[in-house]
Amino acid sequence: MTQNEIYQDLKTKLHDVVPDVELRIKSELAFEINKLKVERNAVILGHNYMEPALFHSIPDYSGDSLELSRIASKTDKDIIVFCGVRFMAETAKILSPQKTVLIPAKKAGCSLADGITADDVRRLKAKYPGVPVVTYINTTAEVKAESDICCTSSNAVAVVQSLKSETVIFLPDEYLARNVARATRRHIIFPSLTGGEPETDTLLDKPIIGWKARCEVHEKFTLEDIQNIRKQFSDVVILSHPECSPEVVAASDFSGSTTEMIRHVQRTNAARYLLLTECSMGDNIMAANPEKNMLRLCSIRCPHMNEITLEDTLEALRQTRYVVEVPEEIRVRALRAVERMLEIIPSAAD
Protein backbone atom coordinates (compact mmCIF):
# COMPACT_ATOMS: atom_id res chain seq x y z
CA MET A 1 0.00 0.00 0.00
CA THR A 2 1.17 3.54 -0.70
CA GLN A 3 1.21 6.06 2.13
CA ASN A 4 -1.95 7.66 0.79
CA GLU A 5 -3.71 4.28 0.61
CA ILE A 6 -2.77 3.61 4.24
CA TYR A 7 -4.05 7.06 5.21
CA GLN A 8 -7.35 6.53 3.33
CA ASP A 9 -7.81 3.11 4.90
CA LEU A 10 -7.14 4.45 8.42
CA LYS A 11 -9.44 7.40 7.76
CA THR A 12 -12.29 5.10 6.71
CA LYS A 13 -11.87 2.94 9.78
CA LEU A 14 -10.84 5.45 12.44
CA HIS A 15 -12.33 8.86 11.55
CA ASP A 16 -14.51 8.68 14.69
CA VAL A 17 -11.66 7.66 16.95
CA VAL A 18 -8.40 9.36 15.89
CA PRO A 19 -8.01 13.03 14.83
CA ASP A 20 -7.14 13.53 11.16
CA VAL A 21 -3.79 15.20 11.81
CA GLU A 22 -2.72 12.19 13.83
CA LEU A 23 -3.88 9.80 11.11
CA ARG A 24 -1.63 11.60 8.62
CA ILE A 25 1.41 11.28 10.88
CA LYS A 26 0.61 7.66 11.69
CA SER A 27 0.11 6.68 8.05
CA GLU A 28 3.60 8.07 7.27
CA LEU A 29 5.09 5.99 10.06
CA ALA A 30 3.13 2.90 9.03
CA PHE A 31 4.31 3.28 5.43
CA GLU A 32 7.98 3.44 6.56
CA ILE A 33 7.49 0.44 8.85
CA ASN A 34 5.85 -1.68 6.15
CA LYS A 35 8.67 -0.86 3.72
CA LEU A 36 11.37 -1.74 6.23
CA LYS A 37 9.52 -4.86 7.28
CA VAL A 38 9.86 -6.25 3.75
CA GLU A 39 13.51 -5.17 3.43
CA ARG A 40 14.41 -6.84 6.73
CA ASN A 41 12.33 -9.98 6.07
CA ALA A 42 10.35 -9.36 9.26
CA VAL A 43 6.87 -10.31 10.38
CA ILE A 44 4.88 -8.03 12.70
CA LEU A 45 2.55 -9.62 15.23
CA GLY A 46 0.04 -7.27 16.88
CA HIS A 47 -1.97 -8.10 19.97
CA ASN A 48 -5.65 -7.12 19.96
CA TYR A 49 -4.87 -4.38 22.54
CA MET A 50 -2.66 -2.35 20.22
CA GLU A 51 -3.74 1.25 19.72
CA PRO A 52 -6.15 1.60 16.74
CA ALA A 53 -3.83 3.23 14.16
CA LEU A 54 -1.07 0.70 14.80
CA PHE A 55 -3.51 -2.22 14.95
CA HIS A 56 -5.07 -1.35 11.59
CA SER A 57 -1.88 -0.58 9.65
CA ILE A 58 1.22 -2.67 10.34
CA PRO A 59 0.56 -6.16 11.80
CA ASP A 60 0.80 -9.08 9.39
CA TYR A 61 -1.17 -10.99 11.99
CA SER A 62 -3.24 -9.81 14.92
CA GLY A 63 -4.87 -11.90 17.60
CA ASP A 64 -4.94 -13.09 21.19
CA SER A 65 -2.01 -14.64 23.07
CA LEU A 66 -2.72 -18.16 21.85
CA GLU A 67 -3.11 -17.24 18.19
CA LEU A 68 0.04 -15.12 18.19
CA SER A 69 2.05 -17.91 19.89
CA ARG A 70 0.97 -20.33 17.17
CA ILE A 71 1.97 -17.90 14.43
CA ALA A 72 5.32 -17.19 16.13
CA SER A 73 6.05 -20.93 16.15
CA LYS A 74 5.46 -21.25 12.40
CA THR A 75 6.86 -18.12 10.75
CA ASP A 76 9.65 -18.44 8.16
CA LYS A 77 10.72 -14.76 8.49
CA ASP A 78 14.11 -13.82 9.98
CA ILE A 79 12.73 -11.25 12.43
CA ILE A 80 9.60 -11.28 14.58
CA VAL A 81 8.55 -7.82 15.75
CA PHE A 82 6.15 -8.33 18.63
CA CYS A 83 3.73 -5.45 19.14
CA GLY A 84 2.50 -6.64 22.50
CA VAL A 85 3.95 -7.01 25.98
CA ARG A 86 7.19 -8.70 26.97
CA PHE A 87 5.80 -12.07 28.07
CA MET A 88 4.31 -12.46 24.58
CA ALA A 89 7.61 -11.62 22.88
CA GLU A 90 9.41 -14.02 25.23
CA THR A 91 6.96 -16.76 24.28
CA ALA A 92 7.78 -16.10 20.61
CA LYS A 93 11.49 -16.44 21.42
CA ILE A 94 10.87 -19.65 23.38
CA LEU A 95 9.10 -21.11 20.33
CA SER A 96 11.43 -19.69 17.66
CA PRO A 97 14.95 -19.47 19.16
CA GLN A 98 16.64 -19.16 15.76
CA LYS A 99 14.71 -15.96 14.97
CA THR A 100 15.53 -12.44 16.10
CA VAL A 101 12.60 -11.36 18.26
CA LEU A 102 12.16 -7.62 18.79
CA ILE A 103 9.88 -5.72 21.13
CA PRO A 104 9.49 -1.99 20.42
CA ALA A 105 9.50 -0.92 24.11
CA LYS A 106 12.17 -1.95 26.58
CA LYS A 107 9.95 -2.84 29.52
CA ALA A 108 6.35 -3.52 28.39
CA GLY A 109 5.59 -5.51 31.53
CA CYS A 110 2.35 -6.94 32.90
CA SER A 111 1.01 -6.91 36.47
CA LEU A 112 0.36 -10.66 36.24
CA ALA A 113 3.84 -11.53 34.95
CA ASP A 114 5.29 -9.28 37.68
CA GLY A 115 3.07 -10.95 40.29
CA ILE A 116 4.95 -14.22 40.73
CA THR A 117 8.59 -15.39 40.59
CA ALA A 118 10.17 -18.72 39.70
CA ASP A 119 11.16 -18.99 43.35
CA ASP A 120 7.49 -18.69 44.39
CA VAL A 121 6.64 -21.57 42.03
CA ARG A 122 9.49 -23.72 43.40
CA ARG A 123 8.18 -23.14 46.94
CA LEU A 124 4.65 -24.11 45.89
CA LYS A 125 5.97 -27.27 44.23
CA ALA A 126 7.83 -28.15 47.44
CA LYS A 127 4.60 -27.65 49.40
CA TYR A 128 2.48 -29.71 46.98
CA PRO A 129 4.86 -32.33 45.53
CA GLY A 130 3.65 -34.08 42.39
CA VAL A 131 0.75 -31.67 41.78
CA PRO A 132 0.76 -30.44 38.15
CA VAL A 133 1.50 -26.74 37.68
CA VAL A 134 -0.47 -24.79 35.07
CA THR A 135 0.83 -21.30 34.42
CA TYR A 136 -0.94 -18.60 32.52
CA ILE A 137 1.01 -17.42 29.49
CA ASN A 138 1.17 -13.98 31.20
CA THR A 139 4.31 -15.04 33.10
CA THR A 140 8.06 -14.74 32.67
CA ALA A 141 10.07 -17.44 30.89
CA GLU A 142 11.58 -18.40 34.29
CA VAL A 143 8.11 -19.09 35.70
CA LYS A 144 7.09 -21.05 32.59
CA ALA A 145 10.26 -23.12 33.01
CA GLU A 146 8.98 -24.27 36.44
CA SER A 147 5.60 -25.32 35.01
CA ASP A 148 4.16 -28.49 33.54
CA ILE A 149 1.91 -26.75 31.06
CA CYS A 150 0.91 -23.22 30.07
CA CYS A 151 -2.52 -21.92 29.22
CA THR A 152 -4.07 -18.76 27.84
CA SER A 153 -7.45 -17.20 28.51
CA SER A 154 -8.91 -19.12 25.56
CA ASN A 155 -7.87 -22.62 26.68
CA ALA A 156 -7.45 -22.41 30.49
CA VAL A 157 -10.49 -24.59 31.25
CA ALA A 158 -9.54 -27.18 28.63
CA VAL A 159 -5.94 -27.31 29.87
CA VAL A 160 -7.05 -27.95 33.47
CA GLN A 161 -9.51 -30.60 32.29
CA SER A 162 -6.82 -32.27 30.18
CA LEU A 163 -4.69 -32.95 33.24
CA LYS A 164 -7.05 -35.52 34.79
CA SER A 165 -5.54 -34.64 38.15
CA GLU A 166 -7.39 -34.40 41.44
CA THR A 167 -5.47 -31.25 42.45
CA VAL A 168 -4.03 -28.61 40.12
CA ILE A 169 -1.81 -25.61 40.84
CA PHE A 170 -2.98 -22.70 38.67
CA LEU A 171 -0.83 -19.55 38.58
CA PRO A 172 -0.73 -16.59 38.95
CA ASP A 173 -4.08 -14.88 38.16
CA GLU A 174 -6.43 -15.04 41.13
CA TYR A 175 -9.50 -14.16 39.09
CA LEU A 176 -8.75 -16.44 36.15
CA ALA A 177 -8.15 -19.25 38.65
CA ARG A 178 -11.48 -18.54 40.35
CA ASN A 179 -13.25 -18.48 36.96
CA VAL A 180 -11.60 -21.74 35.90
CA ALA A 181 -12.47 -23.30 39.27
CA ARG A 182 -16.10 -22.37 38.77
CA ALA A 183 -16.15 -23.73 35.19
CA THR A 184 -14.52 -27.03 36.23
CA ARG A 185 -16.55 -27.31 39.46
CA ARG A 186 -13.55 -27.18 41.75
CA HIS A 187 -12.95 -25.29 44.93
CA ILE A 188 -10.04 -22.93 45.27
CA ILE A 189 -7.33 -22.72 47.88
CA PHE A 190 -4.92 -19.84 48.29
CA PRO A 191 -2.02 -21.35 50.21
CA SER A 192 -0.01 -19.56 52.81
CA LEU A 193 3.69 -20.02 52.20
CA THR A 194 4.48 -18.42 55.54
CA GLY A 195 2.90 -21.05 57.78
CA GLY A 196 -0.65 -19.63 58.27
CA GLU A 197 -3.91 -21.37 57.42
CA PRO A 198 -4.69 -21.63 53.68
CA GLU A 199 -7.73 -19.71 52.49
CA THR A 200 -10.44 -22.01 51.05
CA ASP A 201 -13.38 -20.89 48.93
CA THR A 202 -16.15 -23.52 48.74
CA LEU A 203 -16.67 -27.17 49.53
CA LEU A 204 -16.61 -28.73 46.04
CA ASP A 205 -14.27 -31.71 46.26
CA LYS A 206 -11.41 -31.20 43.78
CA PRO A 207 -9.12 -28.27 44.54
CA ILE A 208 -7.33 -25.67 42.45
CA ILE A 209 -4.41 -24.09 44.26
CA GLY A 210 -4.24 -20.46 43.22
CA TRP A 211 -2.10 -17.37 43.65
CA LYS A 212 -3.14 -13.79 44.26
CA ALA A 213 -1.83 -11.79 41.32
CA ARG A 214 -4.29 -9.72 39.32
CA CYS A 215 -4.51 -7.88 36.04
CA GLU A 216 -4.40 -4.22 37.00
CA VAL A 217 -6.84 -3.42 34.16
CA HIS A 218 -9.49 -6.13 34.52
CA GLU A 219 -9.64 -6.03 38.32
CA LYS A 220 -11.11 -2.51 38.03
CA PHE A 221 -14.45 -3.64 36.53
CA THR A 222 -17.17 -4.17 39.13
CA LEU A 223 -20.58 -5.77 39.44
CA GLU A 224 -21.93 -2.29 40.11
CA ASP A 225 -20.68 -1.14 36.68
CA ILE A 226 -22.72 -3.93 35.09
CA GLN A 227 -25.83 -3.20 37.15
CA ASN A 228 -25.71 0.50 36.27
CA ILE A 229 -25.29 -0.19 32.56
CA ARG A 230 -28.13 -2.72 32.49
CA LYS A 231 -30.41 -0.22 34.22
CA GLN A 232 -29.74 2.29 31.48
CA PHE A 233 -29.55 -0.13 28.49
CA SER A 234 -31.65 -3.22 29.11
CA ASP A 235 -30.77 -4.67 25.66
CA VAL A 236 -26.98 -4.46 26.07
CA VAL A 237 -24.84 -7.57 25.60
CA ILE A 238 -21.93 -7.47 28.04
CA LEU A 239 -18.68 -9.27 27.27
CA SER A 240 -15.92 -9.69 29.83
CA HIS A 241 -12.39 -11.06 29.77
CA PRO A 242 -11.80 -13.99 32.17
CA GLU A 243 -9.21 -11.86 34.02
CA CYS A 244 -12.24 -9.98 35.46
CA SER A 245 -13.60 -11.02 38.87
CA PRO A 246 -15.94 -14.05 39.01
CA GLU A 247 -18.81 -11.73 39.99
CA VAL A 248 -18.27 -9.66 36.85
CA VAL A 249 -17.87 -12.75 34.64
CA ALA A 250 -21.02 -14.34 36.10
CA ALA A 251 -23.05 -11.18 35.46
CA SER A 252 -21.80 -10.90 31.86
CA ASP A 253 -23.47 -12.44 28.81
CA PHE A 254 -20.23 -13.79 27.40
CA SER A 255 -16.69 -14.25 28.67
CA GLY A 256 -13.69 -15.20 26.56
CA SER A 257 -10.24 -14.29 25.30
CA THR A 258 -9.76 -11.07 23.36
CA THR A 259 -10.26 -12.85 20.03
CA GLU A 260 -13.24 -14.81 21.33
CA MET A 261 -14.87 -11.51 22.30
CA ILE A 262 -14.20 -10.08 18.84
CA ARG A 263 -15.73 -13.18 17.21
CA HIS A 264 -18.76 -13.04 19.50
CA VAL A 265 -19.47 -9.46 18.42
CA GLN A 266 -19.00 -10.41 14.74
CA ARG A 267 -21.23 -13.50 15.00
CA THR A 268 -24.14 -11.99 16.92
CA ASN A 269 -26.61 -9.22 16.28
CA ALA A 270 -27.32 -7.38 19.50
CA ALA A 271 -28.70 -3.87 19.73
CA ARG A 272 -25.53 -2.79 21.55
CA TYR A 273 -22.42 -4.25 23.15
CA LEU A 274 -20.28 -3.38 26.12
CA LEU A 275 -16.76 -4.78 26.42
CA LEU A 276 -15.25 -5.16 29.86
CA THR A 277 -11.64 -5.22 28.78
CA GLU A 278 -8.80 -2.95 27.73
CA CYS A 279 -10.28 0.02 25.88
CA SER A 280 -8.23 0.08 22.67
CA MET A 281 -9.83 -3.21 21.78
CA GLY A 282 -13.28 -1.61 21.85
CA ASP A 283 -12.03 0.98 19.36
CA ASN A 284 -10.50 -1.74 17.19
CA ILE A 285 -13.73 -3.75 17.10
CA MET A 286 -15.74 -0.65 16.34
CA ALA A 287 -13.45 0.23 13.45
CA ALA A 288 -13.71 -3.29 12.00
CA ASN A 289 -17.48 -3.54 12.50
CA PRO A 290 -18.92 -0.06 11.90
CA GLU A 291 -22.47 -1.41 11.75
CA LYS A 292 -22.27 -2.60 15.39
CA ASN A 293 -23.24 -0.35 18.25
CA MET A 294 -20.50 -0.43 20.89
CA LEU A 295 -21.01 1.44 24.15
CA ARG A 296 -17.89 3.52 24.68
CA LEU A 297 -17.61 3.62 28.43
CA CYS A 298 -14.21 2.14 28.69
CA SER A 299 -11.43 4.33 29.98
CA ILE A 300 -8.99 1.70 31.18
CA ARG A 301 -5.95 1.47 28.93
CA CYS A 302 -3.29 -1.11 29.78
CA PRO A 303 -0.25 1.09 30.52
CA HIS A 304 2.10 -1.67 29.35
CA MET A 305 0.41 -2.26 25.98
CA ASN A 306 0.34 1.52 25.66
CA GLU A 307 4.16 1.59 25.60
CA ILE A 308 4.10 0.10 22.09
CA THR A 309 3.92 2.88 19.50
CA LEU A 310 4.39 3.21 15.75
CA GLU A 311 7.38 5.50 16.38
CA ASP A 312 9.14 2.87 18.49
CA THR A 313 8.21 0.05 16.13
CA LEU A 314 9.96 1.94 13.33
CA GLU A 315 13.02 2.40 15.55
CA ALA A 316 12.88 -1.28 16.49
CA LEU A 317 13.25 -2.23 12.84
CA ARG A 318 15.81 0.49 12.07
CA GLN A 319 18.05 -0.27 15.04
CA THR A 320 17.21 -3.96 15.59
CA ARG A 321 16.05 -3.17 19.11
CA TYR A 322 15.03 -4.36 21.72
CA VAL A 323 16.25 -7.88 21.17
CA VAL A 324 14.43 -10.41 23.37
CA GLU A 325 16.69 -13.12 24.75
CA VAL A 326 15.86 -16.13 26.91
CA PRO A 327 18.77 -18.11 28.41
CA GLU A 328 18.87 -21.52 26.70
CA GLU A 329 18.62 -23.52 29.93
CA ILE A 330 15.39 -21.67 30.81
CA ARG A 331 14.07 -21.68 27.24
CA VAL A 332 14.17 -25.45 26.80
CA ARG A 333 12.26 -26.02 30.03
CA ALA A 334 9.74 -23.27 29.26
CA LEU A 335 9.33 -24.68 25.74
CA ARG A 336 8.09 -27.99 27.14
CA ALA A 337 5.25 -26.21 28.96
CA VAL A 338 4.32 -24.02 25.98
CA GLU A 339 4.50 -26.90 23.47
CA ARG A 340 2.45 -29.14 25.70
CA MET A 341 -0.26 -26.48 25.67
CA LEU A 342 -0.09 -26.15 21.88
CA GLU A 343 -0.17 -29.94 21.40
CA ILE A 344 -3.04 -30.70 23.75
CA ILE A 345 -5.36 -28.01 22.53
CA PRO A 346 -5.23 -27.71 18.75
CA SER A 347 -6.78 -24.49 17.49
CA ALA A 348 -9.86 -24.62 15.27
CA ALA A 349 -7.73 -23.07 12.53
CA ASP A 350 -5.22 -25.97 12.47
The closest alpha carbon to 84, from 348, 67, 99, belongs to 67
Nearer to ligand 13P, 27 or 138 (CB): 138
For the chain, the 3-state helix, strand and coil shares in percent, each to the nearest 5, are 45, 15, 40
- Residue 287, contacted partner among ligand SF4, ligand 13P, none, CB below 5-8 A by kind: none
Nearer to ligand SF4, 72 or 302 (CB): 302
Three-class secondary structure assignment of 294-331: ECCCCCCCCCCHHHCCHHHHHHHHHHCCCECCCCHHHH
In angstroms, give the least distance from the CB of 11 to ligand 13P.
27
Distances (CA, A) of 344 to 143, 161, 170: 20, 11, 17
- Residue 257, contacted partner among ligand 13P, ligand SF4, none, CB below 5-8 A by kind: ligand 13P
Our finding on whether 257 is near ligand 13P (CB under 6 A) is yes
Our finding on whether 215 is near ligand 13P (CB under 6 A) is yes
Nearer to ligand SF4, 174 or 278 (CB): 278
* Interaction pattern, residues 46-85, with ligand SF4; x per rule: CB under 6 A: ---------------------------------------x
Residue 329: how many CB atoms within 10 A of its CB? 9
Which positions from 88 through 127 interact with ligand SF4, judged by CB under 6 A? 110-112
Nearer to ligand 13P, 6 or 275 (CB): 275
Q: Do the beta carbons of residue 139 and residue 324 sit within 8 Å?
A: no
Which positions from 115 through 144 interact with ligand 13P, judged by CB under 6 A? 138
Q: What is the CA radius of gyration of the chain?
A: 20
- Residue 304, contacted partner among ligand 13P, ligand SF4, none, CB below 5-8 A by kind: ligand SF4
- Residue 65, contacted partner among ligand SF4, ligand 13P, none, CB below 5-8 A by kind: ligand 13P
* Interaction pattern, residues 140-159, with ligand 13P; x per rule: CB under 6 A: ------------xx------
In angstroms, give the least distance from the CB of 18 to ligand 13P.
22
Nearer to ligand SF4, 142 or 243 (CB): 243
Q: Do the beta carbons of residue 55 and residue 336 sit within 8 Å?
A: no
DSSP secondary structure, 20-42, as one string: HHHHHHHHHHHHHHHHHHHHTTE
Q: Kindly state the number of chain residues that form the binding site for ligand SF4, as judged by CB under 6 A.
A: 13
* Interaction pattern, residues 259-288, with ligand SF4; x per rule: CB under 6 A: -------------------x----------
Residue 335 C-alpha from the chain's centroid = 18
Nearer to ligand 13P, 27 or 91 (CB): 91
Per CB under 6 A, the list member of 27, 57, 62, 65 interacting with ligand 13P is 65
Tell me which H or E stretch contains 335: helix 328-344
Nearer to ligand 13P, 191 or 282 (CB): 282
Our finding on whether 255 is near ligand 13P (CB under 6 A) is no
CA distance 305 to 84: 6
CA distance 95 to 113: 18
Residue 108, sorted as left (phi over 0), alpha (psi -120 to 50) or beta, turns out to be left
Our finding on whether 64 is near ligand 13P (CB under 6 A) is yes
The number of residues making up the chain comes to 350
Identify the bridge partners of residue 208 per DSSP, sorted by sequence position: 168, 188
CA distance 18 to 30: 15
Residues that bind ligand SF4 (CB under 6 A): 85, 110-112, 138, 215-217, 243, 278, 302, 304-305
Residues that bind ligand 13P (CB under 6 A): 48, 64-65, 138, 152-153, 215, 241, 243, 257-258
